[in-house]
Amino acid sequence: MKYSQSAYNKTFDLYMKYGPIVVRPTTQDTKALDELVRMCDTEEKYSLIDELLSRFYYMNDDDYQKQIALIADHIIRMRYDPQRTVIMAMAHSHETDGSQDVLNALQVALTMKGYNGFATDSRMDRPERNHYNRGRRNFVVVDDFLGTGVTAYNRYMSLSNNPHLQGVHISFCIVSGMKEGIDYCHRRRMPLYCPVQLEKGLSSVYKGFELSQKVFTMKLLEMKLAERIGTLELSSYSMGWGKAESLFYREGRNIPNNVYPLFWWKRYRDGNHRNTLFYRRQDGY
């Protein structure tokens, strides 16, 4: 496909504005950005992409460590006896995920702050055998990102309703999340601390007809993507999983599926491979 001067100018403009987000940090590769610009066959589509990129929360490693330190401070403020406390990743299987990364970083931060003697677990689906029966009564569950809040709340209820866990304190600490999902959990009286709280990319800014126009433009862009990849249906991720409209990326990590699929869906409607700004690893994808 011929690369017009107009497309080149638009790519260059986005590169200058959002460099860390839109290019590969090691190679400075702009292929994904080039393709994204070429998908914008109207000014409305290009303006939408520009607008959404401007609202992305890009979390680099320094920022991530700051949030981990805030979570460590929060846990210490709860005054849980570390000898009776276990910090668990929210993972529910042997598969690795971002929650285990948080667990690894957090245990270092807590130790540096003098909080010692707590237990850790790389998954949270075996609390009574591994911890309750050994005298642990304070359960802190950690994760990297909260979208709709439904999964986190269901995990909270699985602990709260476990008949083998009596007299326990349960708290969740999640590095970043959507404010709507956080509110969902808080309305249900789930103890949750989340230092980075994000608004929806479009619905938090626009209302009524103006919002409808923005959503319509995004749907037109999504129509250029494959309807299905493996076992995943694009319709389930339209506007982000759970219509979360997330704009969040942690440097060098798996992009949450709550982010608009336009930024990570890896095939075009004709089945051809698509270079994407961000990568996602997910079963069936």
Termini Cα distance of the chain: 27
Enter the CATH code of domain 61-198. Answer: 3.40.50.2020
- Picking from 135, 177, 180, 184, the residue whose alpha carbon sits closest to that of residue 157 is 184
pLDDT in single tens digits along all 285 residues of the chain: 455 678 888 888 998 999 888 876 655 678 899 999 999 999 999 999 999 999 999 999 999 999 999 999 999 999 999 999 999 999 877 777 899 999 999 999 999 999 999 999 999 988 887 898 899 999 999 999 999 999 999 999 999 999 999 999 999 999 999 999 999 999 999 999 999 999 999 999 999 999 999 999 999 999 999 999 999 999 999 999 999 999 999 998 999 999 999 999 999 999 999 999 999 988 888
- Residue 182 CB contacts under 8 Å (≥ 6 apart), including other chains: 146, 149, 192, 194, 197
Q: Could you give the CA distance from residue 46 to residue 4 in angstroms, rounded to a whole number? A: 15
State residue 246 phi and psi, 5-degree precision.
-75, 145
State residue 119 phi and psi, 5-degree precision.
-95, 160
What type of residue is 199? E
- Picking from 266, 209, 211, the residue whose alpha carbon sits closest to that of residue 234 is 266
Rounded alpha-carbon distances, angstroms, from residue 145 to 7, 33, 100, 130, 197: 34, 25, 12, 25, 10
Q: What is the distance, to the nearest Å, from the Cα of residue 202 to the centroid of all Cα atoms in its chain?
A: 17
The domain locations on the chain are 5-55+201-263, 61-198
CA dihedral 173, 174, 179, 181 (to 10 degrees): -90
Q: Could you give the CA distance from residue 101 to residue 130 in angstroms, rounded to a whole number? A: 20
Q: What is the distance, to the nearest Å, from the Cα of residue 75 to the centroid of all Cα atoms in its chain?
A: 22
Contact yes or no for 165/157 (Cβ under 8 A): no
